[in-house]
Structure 1
Amino acid sequence: MKTLLFFLLPTLFLTAEISDARLTTLYRSLNPESISELFAFYHLYPNTNEGLQALSDAWELMHKHRTEKNLLKENLVLPAMEIDSIISLVNKQPFETDIELSEEQLEMIEMISDHLSNKKLKGHSIWKKEELFALPPEEIDLSHALLLYQFEDDPLKVRQYEATLDLIALQILAHLPIGATDLEKIDAISHFIFYEKRFRFPPHSIWVKDIDTYTFLPSVLDSHLGVCLGVSILYLSIAERLDLPLEIITPPGHIYIRYRKGEETLNIETTARGIHVPDRMYLGINTRKLQERNKKEVIGLAFINQASVAWQKEDHQTTVELYEKALPFLPNDPLLKMFLGYNYLFVGKEKEGKKLLDQIKDHPFDFAVARDTTPEDYLKGKVDAEGIKTIFLHVDETRTSILEKQEKLQKVLKKFPNFRDGILQLAISYLQLGRGEEAFETLNRYHALDPNSPVVEYYLSIVAMNRFHYSQAWKHLEAAEILTKERNHSPQCLKQLRHALRCLHPDPEDKL
């Protein structure tokens, strides 16, 4: 609307009454597929033929994909506030004051959007969050469920944000032909989110402290900023309304969206304006496969993101409460059990913590090559709860923060010299400081304790190569290849390392 008003206002100042020819020119310059532009034009010129035509055009667009269309009666004048609300909700700028809709306005928006696909889901009509647990994942209305948790005592707030999403969906549908393909829908959603409304990943200095803020759907809508989970939830919420089937994929510490139909696969990287990134780019030395999540699990992931902020602030009681909220949505997730188990230890619930850690200690996560060693080390007395805390200390990439964490790790390892993840984190701190010799010694210390970590063998190979210890580099590379192959994984990074090493030194296994 602001762009349109900027274009139209000079004409209003130049002459009290705009000429018919000029008005016709302005009408023809409108984007014929923009509901908000057409409504804005009508709002400015409601008593002209062109204004009434713009109203009729906007009404047609809003009903474009309906089987049964509500007719726009002659001489109908919509209340000015309803026009303003539609324009403002779709065109809301980052951090603008919230627009409060009346009951009448909400009912009007709900009426014109009742054909959207998410309205058919059983989860859309639920107003008690406890009832969500009994629903199958495919019946969950993702945006409704998340808003219900955030505003459970304020249903009007839930409806307010749902109205925003409904109008966004109608605006996107206005650009799509009848019977649009899934790929056309993806292009339209991506264009609206990333180019028309310019949703972006927040600056590192902001999101690292408030990742939960940029996960919540209302915050993402209000600020046009969101971390991977936040923008993915927005994308999925719109896709639900457009009957667009998407998969939810979670590499460790990340989430993106995937479209799959037969042999056709398209990844949608929401932190990079929706571009396609090949699956192999998300795999790593210890990540052998990508987890697919359902909508129910995404609700749990939102709580996990929120918990990570509380953990960083060392508010372990709140962290426990948030992980416990996530548990009904992710009852068999080993990573959640591990994190909740650690935080039980941190708040003094040793029995509960040990019980969860004992469930996962002998089993590698399905997506991982190697199992996590800290649960076993704790249960065998090789580290205590305070020692576990140190490996999760945040580092902001400044030398001071790295040194602070390094000092605390050294104190822990003085008391618990066989704490494997502590040794690995210490080696990483040396690498971050560019101290290759100490890193090499520390990694070899880990290798002497446990030669079954593909990550450690990979690091050892790289550091050995950089220090011209080529025979050792080959030895550790081959060890990493064997360990990953045992879990049916052939990571790209090992192939690249093999190529780089072969350029410097012949493979000892090669025969002349």
Structure 2
Amino acid sequence: MKRNVIISVSIAAIITALIFLFPKNGVTTDTLSEILEKTYSQLKNDHLLHDSSSISPISALLDSTCLKLSLSLGERTRSPEAVDSLISQIYHKWQIGFNSDDFDLTGMFPQSVIQSQKGSCLGVSLLFLTMAEKIGCPLYGVIIPGHVFIRYDDGIQCRNIEPNREGISHPDDYYRERYLSDHSRTKPLNKASAADLVAILNYNIANSYAKQNKTGSAIKYYKKSIATKP
């Protein structure tokens, strides 16, 4: 009997370890913008993100701007014209520039990108996607090694949007030649899911904390990245 108990405990420990190492994907009905805002708020509440901006005014600015864009576009929110409006808003009106520091947390979130007027490829892409989600424009993220960019695809027209270069459009081959190794250049550059993007965000957050020697915070977000990744 005692031996059976020991075996049962050992099996339970192994199962627990496997669940810990390979957690299941969390099921959530939150939109991408809601997930980003929750993550941003959590970092600020935990005093891990040194950003002087207040969340509510920036979120309100995003909402009001997207409402104005929706009203001005009318039934064209899914059209290429909507993409041009987003590009104009982000790069010309808000004057968002490129943040080359991949470890800077303020460059990763739409709220702090607006506040600091600069963002990484991921941060500016997430800003595009947040706004597109709010107005109903068919934009998608595309993740490749070392880079994230945006793609407009309404099922008829397709257009890439480069976040680091004020939204100019590069063909897929540009990204294949610049970022992919020879053996992977024939692979399609598929649209990323919201879960893919959140996983990359959590991974980048973890890298930022690892660089700062904040091991506990780094491990926390590496785990989040693994749990989120499909």
Q: TM-score range by the shorter chain?
A: 0.7 to 0.9
**Residue 56 (structure 1) aligns with:** none
**Residue 195 (structure 2) aligns with:** 296
**Residue 220 (structure 1) aligns with:** 113
Kept in 1: contact 2:59–2:111 (CA 8 A): no
Cα drift, residue 158 of structure 1: 5.3
1:145 equivalenced with 2:35 (yes/no): yes
What is the distance in 2 between the residues matched to 1:247 and 1:224? 22
What is the distance in 1 between the residues matched to 2:190 and 2:145? 9
For 1:247, what is the secondary structure of its paired residue? strand
Matches within 5 A, 1:101-500: 133-135=26-28, 139-152=29-42, 159-176=56-73, 178-180=74-76, 181-202=78-99, 204=100, 207-208=101-102, 210-283=103-176, 284=180, 285-288=182-185, 289=187, 290-331=189-230
**Residue 44 (structure 1) aligns with:** none
For 1:189, what is the secondary structure of its paired residue? helix
User: Residue 158 and residue 222 in structure 1: after superposition, are their counterparts in 2 closer, same or farther (change >3 A)?
Assistant: closer
Unaligned ranges ≥5, structure 1: 1-131, 332-512
What is the distance in 1 between the residues matched to 2:112 and 2:219? 23
Q: Name the larger-Rg structure.
A: 1
- Residue-by-residue CA offset, 1:104-159 (whole Å, 9 max, x unaligned): xxxxxxxxxxxxxxxxxxxxxxxxxxxx9323xxx5321221111222497xx655
Cα drift, residue 220 of structure 1: 0.7
Kept in 2: contact 1:310–1:316 (CA 8 A): yes
What is the distance in 2 between the residues matched to 1:218 and 1:169? 14
For 1:271, what is the secondary structure of its paired residue? helix
User: Residue 230 and residue 171 in structure 1: after superposition, are their counterparts in 2 closer, same or farther (change >3 A)?
Assistant: same
In the alignment, residue 148 of structure 1 is paired with which amino acid?
A: K
RMSD: 2.4
What is the distance in 2 between the residues matched to 1:224 and 1:286? 37
Matches within 5 A, 1:57-72: none
User: Residue 296 and residue 140 in structure 1: after superposition, are their counterparts in 2 closer, same or farther (change >3 A)?
Assistant: farther
What is the distance in 1 between the residues matched to 2:169 and 2:69? 21
User: Residue 281 and residue 313 in structure 1: after superposition, are their counterparts in 2 closer, same or farther (change >3 A)?
Assistant: same
- Residue-by-residue CA offset, 1:387-415 (whole Å, 9 max, x unaligned): xxxxxxxxxxxxxxxxxxxxxxxxxxxxx
- Residue-by-residue CA offset, 1:146-195 (whole Å, 9 max, x unaligned): 111222497xx65543312111112323542x311521111111111111
Unaligned ranges ≥5, structure 2: 1-24, 46-53
* Number of matched pairs: 190
Kept in 2: contact 1:300–1:327 (CA 8 A): yes
- Residue-by-residue CA offset, 1:360-385 (whole Å, 9 max, x unaligned): xxxxxxxxxxxxxxxxxxxxxxxxxx
Cα drift, residue 247 of structure 1: 1.9
User: Residue 313 and residue 164 in structure 1: after superposition, are their counterparts in 2 closer, same or farther (change >3 A)?
Assistant: same
What is the distance in 1 between the residues matched to 2:90 and 2:59? 16
What is the distance in 2 between the residues matched to 1:298 and 1:238? 15
Kept in 1: contact 2:139–2:151 (CA 8 A): yes
- Residue-by-residue CA offset, 1:265-298 (whole Å, 9 max, x unaligned): 1001111111111101111324333243111221
In the alignment, residue 301 of structure 1 is paired with which amino acid?
A: I
User: Residue 287 and residue 319 in structure 1: after superposition, are their counterparts in 2 closer, same or farther (change >3 A)?
Assistant: farther
Kept in 1: contact 2:151–2:191 (CA 8 A): no
Cα drift, residue 317 of structure 1: 4.2
**Residue 22 (structure 2) aligns with:** none
Q: Percent identity?
A: 27
For 2:165, what is the secondary structure of its paired residue? coil
Kept in 1: contact 2:129–2:140 (CA 8 A): no
Kept in 2: contact 1:143–1:162 (CA 8 A): no
